[in-house]
Amino acid sequence: MWERLPTGWKKVLAGALEMPSAEALERFVDAERKKATVYPPEDEMFSAFQLTPPDGVRVLVLGQDPYHGPGQAHGLAFSVRPGVRLPPSLLNIFKELRSDLGLPPGMDGSLVPWAKQGVLLLNAVLTVRAGTPNSHAGHGWEAFTDAVIQAVSAGPQPVVFLLWGSYARKKKKLIDTGRHAILESAHPSPLSASQGFFGSRPFSRINQTLKEWGREPIDWRLPA
């Protein structure tokens, strides 16, 4: 499966890919795909990395694990394929986008336009068994994605890290806070969005920070 990871990411993650845990994770995911439906499909497992090269990361948004319903997950945290009903967390993200910047939601839930601009939409766990949330947690993905966060932190350009919810905020220790900006708030899920996600204005704050660094801001508009 690792052969699907783009060359640029393989270079910055070489150490992590040489660990025994990476080999064990590959065996686990391969075995799962043989006996059950696993999301996202194998050719979309590394979509975030294919769309956002390591030297192009401006923002890192950290999710937990992929959507586990049919046709939802396509390798980008919080994003769903065109034509798929919007999950509650993504609906709340779009509500905050309108509140923050006055932008309407897109015609669908695909966040590919953000990823193409340098927003790394990274889940901590990159696969899941159909209908069973967190089923692939604790099998090695976390070590790999921790290495991704550390690689982005060690990169030459300052990055805005967006950490939504307690799970994501635990990753703060992996980030060089002297070089990068960290925005934290409650998670956009319906269980917690009213406890600090709504009104957090992440999109305008990200762009303000990028401008202060002399980096290009993100165009958060999605195709209508």
The three-state DSSP-derived secondary structure of 74-100 is CCCCCCCCCCCCCCHHHHHHHHHHHHH
Tokens for 50, please give them: 């294919």
Q: Which residue has the tokens 């080999």?
A: 23
- Average per-residue pLDDT in the chain? 96
Task: For the chain, give the percent of residues with pLDDT over 70.
Answer: 100
Residue 160's SS3 state is strand
106-163 pLDDT per residue, tens: 889 999 999 999 999 999 999 999 999 999 999 999 999 999 999 999 999 999 999 9
CA distance 3 to 41: 15
In the predicted model, what is the mean pLDDT of residues 51-58? 97
β-strand 38-39 against 128-129: which pairing, if any? antiparallel
**What's the pLDDT at 162?**
98
**What's the pLDDT at 224?**
82
Residues of the chain by 3-state class (helix, strand, coil), percent to 5: 45, 10, 45
65 is catalytic: yes
73-117 pLDDT per residue, tens: 999 999 999 999 999 999 999 999 999 999 998 889 999 999 999
**What's the pLDDT at 106?**
87
**What's the pLDDT at 69?**
94
192-203 pLDDT per residue, tens: 999 999 999 999
CA distance 18 to 6: 16
16-39 pLDDT per residue, tens: 999 999 999 999 999 999 999 999
CB 216 within 8 Å of CB 58: yes
Report CA torsion sign: 146, 54, 115, 23.
negative
Indicate which residue of 30, 43, 55, 65 is catalytic: 65
Instruction: Please report the domains of the chain, with CATH numbers, ordered by start residue.
Output: 2-213 (3.40.470.10)
Residue 164: pLDDT above 90? yes
